[in-house]
Structure 1
Amino acid sequence: MRHELIIAPFLQDHWILRPGSSAGLKIPAHRYLELRDAAAHDTMPAWLPDVVRRRWGIDVGDRRPRDILLVRGPSPYGHGRASYEVNNGCNWACPHCVYGDKVHEGLAWEPRERLLHLLRDAGIVWIELGGGECTIDTHFPETYALAYDLGMMVEIQTNGSTLHRPAMLDLLTSRRPYRVTLSVYGATAETFDGFTQRRGAFDKFMRGLVAAHEAGLPLSLSVIITRENAHETDAMRALAHRYASRVREYAHMSPTFAGGAEPLAQQAPEYLQNRTPFTGCDAGHTSLNVNPFGMASVCKVSRDHPIPLLKEGLAGLARLGALADRALQRQNACASCALQKKCTTCMPLVKLYRRAESPLDRYCQHA
């Protein structure tokens, strides 16, 4: 029987989490210890059924704790979130993609299995599986299932093209993700297929979106506004709000992670809005990114000096914090800039824009 609740330390706190729900319940440390003992001795704490009923509307009063609770142990490594690029290959060819040449390659199952256990032991509770298009990876079903079974709250980033398949729906409804995020590239087949450079892409997207919605999966939709689809912006917004309560918009295209300028040509200038100042982030300290070969980096953008997790093990993660601090330090002309406190772009992203020889107005207020 699969767990109904995850009891997990998360950074300095302790939480009760429910797979398939983004809502959690923070509990004091002594309650965490009580639940850990309850699972070990199969005795239900008197307070738990009422708390769970009020938070999620489920009844666990007559259930055995060992059947419904998965208790995560504490980790000394201090990480709580990770993004894992399962495979950078993709079945679409969107010109704004930050991955550039999307080569279909990644880890075989045995090293991938070891990698997921390492992430669990590092303290990762929230994990994002992406790519590329992660769902077309040969080992995606096992990867997703193991991350779930290890007690991680799983999000998948997908183009939706496989979500209508019965096997995929069975996987995601029997082991529910806390979020499924899809991108909207157009409101008509002509625009959507043209942008993805794949005939039939819109039909597959809509079939997947409708199937996931009907299955009650927690959907999040990203409306991607570019020069090729900006004329359908209102229609894309309407489509997104029809199927998801969580909708975000993105118009600022970034260079590829290798510093390629190709995505910048997709900018729709009239939709570029002022962004909020960058005031720092937890990247490298409590969160990290892992590429398809098990190389850990500060984040998706800051990939310098990656750490080979499968070779060094968790001890290698001790270097990430210092790497992050160095990566975020303002460099060259940015170091003496009077507008630093109002800057909206982190230094690793600035370096990508510079490498791509981007126009200054795409990332710098001095433009």
Structure 2
Amino acid sequence: MECLQTIGTSDREYFVRFNAKVMERRIPLFGTIDLTRQCNLNCVHCYLGDRHHKAGDISNEINTEKWLQIIDEITGAGCLHLLITGGEPLLRKDFDKVYRHAIRNGLLVTVFSNGTCVTEREIEIFSDMPPQAVEISIYGATPETYERITRVKGSYEKCMKGITLLLDHGIRVALKTILMSINRHEFSAMENIASRLGVKFRFDAALFPCLNGDPSPLDFRVSPEDAVRLEMSDAERYRRWLSYYLRTRNFHYPDSLYVCGAGQASFYIDPFAKLHPCLMTGRPEFDLLQGGFQDGWENVIPGIHNQHNGIESCRNCQKIALCGYCPAFFCLETGNEKVRSEYLCEMGKHRLESICNDSTEGEWR
């Protein structure tokens, strides 16, 4: 085995090579499990739709024993990084058992939460077995804006208390937001909250329709130009985009529709034991109540990469590394995974313009 110090390879180069090997060998290194569709909020942009229309699904969610079995199976298959999400995963009464089992299996666990359900129970769990991070979504810097989005009175205060409780006990926290037309005016204030707390902050503006096809979340999009302007206004975010572009601009994309790691190095399991390549695509699907993870991973999930004749105009486009190219996203927005999202295309256009118009262009081009 090559030694990093001996061969003088940088961390970045090493991980590029490492990830290439993972993809080549189809090791399911990155997993996401959606513990529940339950949520105590009712966010206007939620990809699951109105929470009151999801209540009937909860009774069909798999039990603790099955989740523990699934965690054993994904660990055996090579999973290392596990994201536990929902819904609101902390609402599951067996969250403690599922989370601890994942940690004991050696998985590096990140938890996505809205922060409003953090109690002494969660503090005890996370203090005993720390996660990589608890990532909490904040939708505004004031109760008015936050609760206009969550549609639950008092949720802002609960979220802030949850964040404070975690930080006071030394639990690693990261904050994130979905940039929308109704919270855009508080973006800087949300960044300031994260800065004041000393935690990382990120945002995403690429709202997409609900998984059931409801397009209403798109009503809250900000313009691609505005979203990119905010991205590039931060020096570190700008450097990350520039670095990523320089690494990938000469990459030759294969003649396939899906060119990402979904189904190659990552997977998603919903609360009903359905295995998918990722959250956003409903197919191919494998029922883990009918067979084991390895069977689904080897024999069904690879089907996503058997779709050839990708979108020619996208594959040969210099913006493809910057737009967030995703056929599953396209399908949700346009109804056809081969019809691109003009919103994402515009995002890529403005990112490329921002990079190419930078005063240091001559130094790297």
TM-score (norm. length: structure 2): 0.72
Distance, in Å, in 2 between the alignment partners of 1:320 and 1:218 is 36
Q: 1:354 aligns with which of 324, 334, 339?
A: 334
Distance, in Å, in 2 between the alignment partners of 1:180 and 1:101 is 24
Deviations 1:171-217 (A, max 9, x none): 11101101110111011111111210000000100000001111111
Q: Give me the CA root mean square deviation.
A: 3.1
Q: 2:266 aligns with which of 272, 277, 287?
A: 287
Structure 1: unaligned runs, 5 residues or longer: 1-11, 15-22, 27-75
**SS of residue paired to 2:93:** coil
Paired letter, 1:91: N
- Residue of structure 1 in register with 2:94 after alignment: 139
- Residue of structure 2 in register with 1:95 after alignment: 44
Report whether the alignment pairs 1:184 with 2:165: no
Paired letter, 1:248: R
Structure 2: unaligned runs, 5 residues or longer: 4-10, 15-24, 232-240, 254-258, 350-365
Q: 1:148 aligns with which of 98, 103, 114?
A: 103
Equivalent residue runs for 1:154-173 within 5 Å: 154-163=109-118, 165-173=119-127
- Residue of structure 1 in register with 2:344 after alignment: 363
Report whether the alignment pairs 1:325 with 2:305: yes
Report whether the alignment pairs 1:223 with 2:157: no
Deviations 1:214-249 (A, max 9, x none): 111111111322111111111111012222432112
Paired letter, 1:166: E
Pair 1:359–1:199, CA change in 2 (3 A): farther
Alpha-carbon offset, residue 360 of structure 1 = 5.3
Pair 1:142–1:360, CA change in 2 (3 A): closer
Higher helix proportion: 2
Deviations 1:296-342 (A, max 9, x none): 11111122121112321122210355323136x565xx335575442
- Residue of structure 2 in register with 1:29 after alignment: none
Distance, in Å, in 2 between the alignment partners of 1:13 and 1:309 is 38
- Residue of structure 1 in register with 2:168 after alignment: 214
Report whether the alignment pairs 1:264 with 2:241: no
Higher strand proportion: 1
**SS of residue paired to 2:201:** strand
Report whether the alignment pairs 1:246 with 2:200: yes
8 Å CA contact 2:276, 2:282 repeated in 1: yes
Pair 1:352–1:326, CA change in 2 (3 A): farther
Equivalent residue runs for 1:62-81 within 5 Å: 78-81=27-30
- Residue of structure 1 in register with 2:190 after alignment: 236
- Residue of structure 2 in register with 1:316 after alignment: 296
- Residue of structure 1 in register with 2:66 after alignment: 111
Q: 1:304 aligns with which of 273, 283, 293?
A: 283
Pair 1:305–1:360, CA change in 2 (3 A): closer
Matched residues, number: 294
**SS of residue paired to 2:219:** helix
Distance, in Å, in 2 between the alignment partners of 1:359 and 1:298 is 20
Alpha-carbon offset, residue 115 of structure 1 = 1.4
Alpha-carbon offset, residue 13 of structure 1 = 10
Distance, in Å, in 2 between the alignment partners of 1:91 and 1:231 is 25
Distance, in Å, in 1 between the alignment partners of 2:50 and 2:300 is 27
> Mean alpha-carbon deviation: is it higher for 284-293 or for 77-86?
77-86
Identity of aligned residues (%): 24
